[in-house]
Amino acid sequence: MKDYGERIERASESLMNAKYILIGAGAGLSDAAGLKYSGKRFTDRFADFIIKYGMKDLYTSSFYPFETMEEKWAYWARHISLNRFETPVTDLYKKLYQIAKKKNYFVLTTNVEHQFWKAGFQDKRTFATQGDYGYIQCAVGCHDKLYDDEKLVADMLEQTKDCMIPSELVPKCPVCGGEMEVNLRKDQYFVQDEAWCIACNNYNSFIEDLQGKAVVFMELGVGFNTPGIIRYPFEKMTYENSNAALIRINRDYPNGSAENKDKTITFNEDMVEVISAL
C-alpha cells in the first residue's frame, strides 16, 4: 500500500468529488468504535456467567446451549442491554455521520446494535439487514411482526438471580404460544417485517439511482463471515462503474480484487484514526 498520507489525500478527494456515498458496515466498525465482544468489557459485565458456564466472549457465548429458557434469557437480557440500550452513540459513528451527511448517502450494515440511528443517520437511508437487538420475534417466524424488548430486558435484568430469570418473564409468542428469539438472522425463521422490507426497497432504489454516477463505496470492517451482503457486491459495483471509488478500512482483510486495484484505497490502520483524518 502507498504512503498513509497519500492514501488519506486520495480518499478525501474521492469523497469530496462524490455525488453518492454508500457505506457498508460490518462487525469491525463496532469493534473499532469500542463495542468489543471480548476483553475487559466482557469480563467485567459477565463475571458470573463466565464462572458458571466457562464463557469466553460475547460472540461464542451467543451459541451456548443453555438447558433452560430462564438461563438463556438471563444471558440475552444482559447481552442486549449492554450492546443496544446502555451503550450511547460512539464517537466513531458520530464522525462517520459528519462525512455522510454532506452527500446523498445510504448505509447497509450487518451490525445489530442500532449505533447508526443513535448517531443521527436517517431511518429511510439505513438498512440493518441482519436484525436489531432491540426486537424479539417468534422463534419459528409464525407471523411477520417484531416486538420491542426494552422494558422486557430491563425487567429481566432487575430480576436475574444466579444467572436465571423468573419463569414468568420468559417470553412466549402471542400467536402460536411458542418460544421467542432475538431478531437476529441465524436461521430460516428470521422475521423480515414491513419495516425491513421498506428498508430493503430503499436500498435497492438507491443502488439504481447511483448507476454510472460519481460514488464512493465505504466498506468498514467487513470480513468474510457474510461477504455476499457487502464485500462482494461492493467490489462488483465498483468494477461496473467507471466513476466509482472503493474505500476499504479493514485491519485484517484490506486487500480486494485485482480488477479494482486502481479504484480501491485501502487502510489497515486504526479505523478511528482514518475516519478522523477523513
Q: Which domain holds residue 93?
A: 4-277
Q: Is 214 helix (H, G, I), strand (E, B) or coil?
A: coil
Q: What proportions of the chain, in percent to the nearest 5, are helix, strand and coil? A: 45, 20, 35
C-alpha–C-alpha distance, residues 60 and 76, integer Å:
13
What's the total number of domains in the chain? 1
Query: Residue 2: what pLDDT?
Result: 76
C-alpha–C-alpha distance, residues 112 and 131, integer Å:
6
- Burial readout 229-257 (b: 16 or more C-beta within 10 A, e: otherwise): bbbebbbebbeebebbbbbbbbeebeebe
Closest CA to 245 of 273, 214, 224: 214
pLDDT tens-digit profile of 237-246? 999 999 999 9
Enumerate the β-bridge partners of residue 138: 180
Low-confidence ranges of the chain (pLDDT < 50): none
Query: Residue 44: what pLDDT?
Result: 96
17: domain CATH number?
Answer: 3.40.50.1220
